[in-house]
Structure 1
Amino acid sequence: MSMTVRALTPTIGAVVEGLDLSQGVSADLAGALRAELLKHQVLFFEDQHLTPVQHRDFAARFGELHTHPLYPGVPEAPELFILDNHKDNPTDNDSWHTDVTFIETPPMGSILYAKSLPASGGDTIWANMKAAYEALSPSFRGYLEGLDAVHDFARGFPQRGIVANAAGAEKHAKAMAEHPPVLHPVVRTHPETGEDALFVNFGFTERLKGLRRKESDAILGMLFEHVTKPEFQVRFRWSPNAIAFWDNRITQHYAVNDYLPHRRIMNRATILGDRPYHHSRKPAQALAAE
């Protein structure tokens, strides 16, 4: 197989062509794909035909897999979970977020596979947090580098939210008990490239440690708006059996909610990563229960 990589924007995103992922991924190919992921932050593969087990095994070439505490798993490969959105189960992903930052070792990446798509709509947008960080003034970057932020499961999955209701009260309560708030640096150093990037997101970042609530809200509000600039983004129009593989350590994404009442079904594998840190100081410690 001869792999070619076509960049979609100067900042983020590339289409990988010439591969049939159902044939398996060798160590050499996995290494080549990891290198392209580090370069482009999100890779797209079109017209792939994977079973759930093949999807799981592809993701497992890049690390240990995370099992989500709320979303339903795929029966043949329970490490995967199902995002099945329609008029009776609208999406909860139509906000900018980085996956699963409510744990101490957030994912290094996620691999999303289109199983059933609406006739139009349902795109996903990714943004490069290194580019967003570098677009800030040097003095503000320096200030942010010394801050930690609280990431909270309850912010992303509130008790009366769509996902919590679908999962059931008992499952949600168990997940809440197992996922207390954690601290992560506001500016994260990428463990493979050494690049610094913003590491706060609307989905899970509740507040900045050590600041008054109004101060925290003002800074986070500015950052949440800043990261949505089109210059940092790539927008992917899904096609049947397409796959997206993104570096969760340096990106955010947004699922465009424009297709209801039609249905959209995606399967996702989530690959665990390292504890976030900034190079100037030690990794943040988990937030003690308050």
Structure 2
Amino acid sequence: MTYALPGTAAPTPTDPLGYFGPIIAPRLAAAADDRPYELFTLNPQTPTIGAEISGIQLGGNLAEEVLAELRRALLEWKVLFFRDQDITRTEHRAFAARWGELEQHPFYKYTQPGQSDIDVATLAKDATAVGAENIWHNDVTWHRTPSFAAVLRAVEIPPVGGDTLWADMGAAYDLLPEDIKARIDHLDAEHDWLRSFGSGMPQDAIDLLRPQFPPVTHPVVRVIPETGRRVLFVNVAFTQRILGVSADESNELLRMLYRHAMRPELQVRLRWQPNTIAFWDNRTSQHYASSDYFPARRVMERISIVGDTPIGVD
């Protein structure tokens, strides 16, 4: 449900998201059991998305009960932050592996020399390799099974800047007017990598990769199996068009949904420190890495976890 202060703009047929005033979304699915956490301390960072966890070290052998509470926290808060996690790459990888099969991004090499298994990737940005992740996206939605989650650790941060933002796509869906939900609930969209990763590739490289990674179709509204929560599942970086409608209607709907999903009320912003870790649900949140630190250096370590095939309302 959306709320507007007396005298503020209200949705109209030509601008259904043109309201302002209080923007209040539920944090949980309707049937969720909002219980306290017993095995660590959880400090919310916004009303709906982002929580800082303290009282545990991710480099240790975490008990199954702790992992179960962390999984519930991830479902409820979409992205979890952990400070002062001075862990090794091996420990980083081991923590991620507790959540599922690990994956290698097809356009980046996660394996290190002499290794045959997927490893933590080092992402170093500076004056020669500039940060270009400053576009709202879920990771690899052009894949048939987009990532379930990712674990990102700060190694070296700039003196100022280089924050990362996440946006809550469950709250984004819940705040849509009912007539917009009815329009999009049963639609599918095409996702592709050509406009992003392919934009700087030579044609022979594109021709080599294209048969492995053709365009894929995902529901515009994705349902999360564990909670039944409906989330928006389109993003500026990889969604090409909505299927089954005209090009004009596809463009209209996507512009509207992108603008809505970027509302600050749906976002949490992390100011990194060395050894801070972010662990996010890629199904229920989009993220954006602020590229405001050039030419300073920013070094992160990251690994991601295999997801499943998105299911829609149908």
User: If the length of structure 1 is used for normalisation, what is the TM-score?
Assistant: 0.89
2: CA distance, partners of 1:93 / 1:31 = 31
1:80 and 1:196 map into 2 onto residues whose CA distance is 31
Q: Is the 8 A contact 1:72 1:82 kept in 2?
A: no
State the distance in 2 between where 1:170 and 1:85 align: 27
Confirm or deny: 8 A CA contact 2:48 2:266 kept in the other structure.
Answer: yes
Which residue of the partner structure matches residue 109 of structure 1? 149
- Shift, 1:185, TM fit: 0.3
Q: CA deviation at 1:169?
A: 7.2
Higher strand share: 1
Q: TM-score, normalised by structure 2?
A: 0.83
Q: Does 1:235 align with 2:269?
A: yes
Looking at structure 2, the residues matched to 266 and 52 of structure 1 have their Cα atoms a distance apart, in angstroms, of: 11
Per-residue Cα deviation, 1:216-256 (whole angstroms, up to 9, x for no partner)? 12211111111110110100000001000011111001000
Shift of 1:171: 5.8
Counterpart selection for 2:220 from 168, 186, 193: 186
- How many Å separate the matches in 1 of 2:264 and 2:105? 30
Deviation at 1:72, TM superposition (A): 3.4
Q: Would you say the 8 A contact 1:70–1:172 is kept in 2?
A: no
Could you tell me how far 1:194 is from its partner in structure 2?
0.5
Q: Which has the higher helix share?
A: 1
For 2:54 and 2:132, how far apart are their aligned partners in 1?
A: 31
Q: Which moved more, 1:216-225 or 1:69-78?
A: 69-78
2:171 counterpart of 1:131 = yes
Give the CA RMSD over aligned residues.
1.8
Give the structure 1 partner of residue 77 of structure 2: 40
Unaligned runs of 5+ in 2: 1-37
Measured in 2, the distance between the counterparts of 1:50 and 1:170 equals: 40
Match of residue 293 from structure 2? 259
Offset of 1:177 from its aligned partner? 3.0
Partner residue in 2 for 1:148: 188
Tell me the residue number matched to 2:52.
15
**In structure 1, what is the Cα distance between the partners aligned to 2:203 and 2:94?**
32
The alpha carbon displacement at 1:79 in A equals: 3.4
Aligned length: 274
Q: Which residue of 1 aligns with 2:20?
A: none
* Structure 1 residue 52 corresponds to structure 2 residue 89: yes
Q: State the match for 1:286 in structure 2.
A: none
Write out per-residue CA displacement over residues 105-156 of structure 1, whole angstroms, 9 at most, x where no aligned residue: 1111111111111111000000000111111110110110110000102133
Q: Is the 8 A contact 2:39 2:66 kept in 1?
A: no
What corresponds to 2:21 in structure 1?
A: none
**Equivalent residue for 1:287?**
none
- Once the two structures are superposed, what CA deviation does each residue of 1:7-38 show, in whole Å capped at 9, x if it has no partner? 11111000000111111223222111101101
Percent identity among equivalent residues? 43
Query: Retained in 2: the 8 A contact 1:71–1:83?
Result: no
Distance 1:99 1:242 in 2: 20
Which entry has the higher C-alpha Rg, 1 or 2? 2
- Report the AA paired with residue 248 of structure 1: N
Residues 1:157 and 2:173 are matched in the alignment: no
The answer to whether the 8 Å contact 1:67/1:80 transfers is no
Verify: 1:97 aligned to 2:137, yes or no: yes
